[in-house]
Amino acid sequence: MSDLKSTVQLNNGILMPRFGLGVWKSSNTDAKNAVTTAIKHGYTLIDTAKQYGNETGVGQGIKEGLAETGMNRKDLFVTTKLFNGNQGYESTLRAFDGQLKRLGLHYIDLYLIHWPVDDKFIDTYKAMEKLYHEGKIRALGISNFDNERLAELLEHTDVVPAVNQMEFNPTNQEKDILAQANLEGIQLEAWSPLGGGDSLSDPTVLSLAEKYGKTAAQIILRWEYQRDLVIIPKSIHEQRIVENSQIFDFEITSDDVAKLNALDKSKRGLWYDDFKWHNPDGPWGDSVDKWDDSPANYAD
């Protein structure tokens, strides 16, 4: 029976949980509380990034969650991402050390390039390969890579990424990228899996929620689970954290899956048209999010 302990085997042989917690747009305090709560309720996959400005809070939440449950570090799967402004070979190595320190960890389970900054992501990934071979990272991955940039990465590096984390939800299903990921043996992971108001209020989603006696969010998350994705919905509220994970006691029929598949509009929330690929200081990801409770010094 599938549950929060369900995993997928990545292309390097390690197991990654299929369902986890995202913490984008969460302060350090909110991230700490959400992570602690999630671990208490059985989550083992935690996803953050330097850009989110909350790695310190996530690290504290991990520490408290493990203490409250009696679990060990090895029971969790922790993902973080390299900040765009840190891309480059030597700067990646320095940045990684800073991220480990903020998270209070000795290794990262999955380390992602947050965005493929042109002219830098190859050197960045080579630095990540070094960290991988040193055992500081259990799996390498990428985020927001289109097929063109994935092909360029594969041509110039040795370790095939284990994961590509992409925006994926009913209105943006990234069909070409999903197909290429499957072809290369790369696991697709969904950020913004609920797709915001457009997806949660869609008449088809609401009709299926009524049919199955589930929430709109649970319908979407179960559909993505059946599409073989890794899913990391974000919430800072305990009720929602628990509710989001309650998708393992029902199955959507193939006909209803097809109805959800048909909602695709390739509608991206923020994406390539808004990102200056050649410039790590482009309009997205140009700074680390600042919070009132952020550490005074967030430099690596």
298 flagged as catalytic: no
Are 79 and 46 in contact by the 8 Å Cβ rule? The answer is yes
Q: Catalytic: which of 52, 111, 125, 132?
A: 52
Give the catalytic positions in this structure.
Answer: 52
